[in-house]
Structure 1
């Protein structure tokens, strides 16, 4: 929240609510509040286990891939429906091919 744009975004998303005149005033307030504060990321603090768990989750390649897929390709519900329909058609085509080859190899 070092920039007024950060404050505006957080206020627009409903994360913070302020009654100051401008977003710049809020930004300056938070800058003054955190001046001189040093946070030891590798120390022993009460949220250390949570930070480590979040970092492990973020570093997981599958989670990053799923997030990228959701953000870039499945942001619209119709795209999800179309992808499911495509997967269903692909599965049915593969099943039909396998059954056709099996009936040809092993006629009854």
Structure 2
């Protein structure tokens, strides 16, 4: 578990730390307790990365400065319109989802390190369970090698393990039989927004349209040509109907 940049660490007096794991844990988690969430999360997390991608959610590497690897955000953004698509502006100015995740480097020792930090949070009630929530979140979006590959292509995950499948199995094991207090879920609001976006059939339809018909210039030209021919056909039908009515 290694973020690209280390944050400065100046916290409690040395005698307030129980052991080295406690000290390391404090250096990786936020200095201040997060604001209480106004949202009570249901017993539901989110789909994996590939499913979210097919629903129109785009994963992006969070740009610096990022506080730490825990700072995951989701927002709805307007889709960009290229000059070639000006004619379709009215039907392409819908919003897409954008999930920003700080980069994470994974090594052979990352799994045991996460397990120790999660065990620390399970044993001490006064922790905010940031590591546990993060691990459960990553377990949700990473089900198989394809999910790891998608996050890797976006610069979010870098690993030194034998395969992408090994990374997927690492996070899948971290999420097994882990207890957490839902009131301490610092990602509750983000999860709610992601689920609302994912549950929209309109977003899934629009994402399929972009993927199947607007993924390259030739496909876009074909769609424009089809729309143009459709408009000509409708226009011809309207004029034929008007001409028929006029001659009656």
Query: What TM-score do you get using the length of structure 1 for normalisation?
Result: 0.63
- Structure 1 segments of 4+ aligned residues over 3 angstroms from their partners: 5-8, 10-13, 34-40
Higher strand proportion, which one?
2
Aligned counterpart, 1:92: 232
- Alignment partner of 1:65 out of 202, 205, 218: 205
Aligned length: 100
Aligned mates of 2:186, 2:218 — CA distance in 1 = 43
Aligned mates of 2:201, 2:214 — CA distance in 1 = 18
Contact 1:58–1:64, Cα closer than 8 Å, also in 2: yes
Aligned mates of 1:7, 1:85 — CA distance in 2 = 35
Aligned mates of 1:8, 1:65 — CA distance in 2 = 25
User: Deviations 1:51-96 (Å, cap 9, x if unpaired)?
Assistant: 1121011011111112223223332221111111111111121112
Evaluate the alpha carbon distance shift between residue 90 and residue 82 of structure 1 in structure 2; reply closer, same or farther with a 3 A threshold.
same
What stretches of structure 2 of length at least 5 have no aligned partner? 1-138
Aligned counterpart, 1:104: 244
What stretches of structure 1 of length at least 5 have no aligned partner? none
How large is the Cα RMSD of the aligned pairs? Answer: 3.6
Aligned mates of 1:13, 1:90 — CA distance in 2 = 38
Contact 2:213–2:219, Cα closer than 8 Å, also in 1: yes
Of stretches 94-103 and 43-52 in structure 1, the one that deviates more from structure 2 is 43-52
Aligned counterpart, 1:23: 161
Query: What TM-score do you get using the length of structure 2 for normalisation?
Result: 0.32
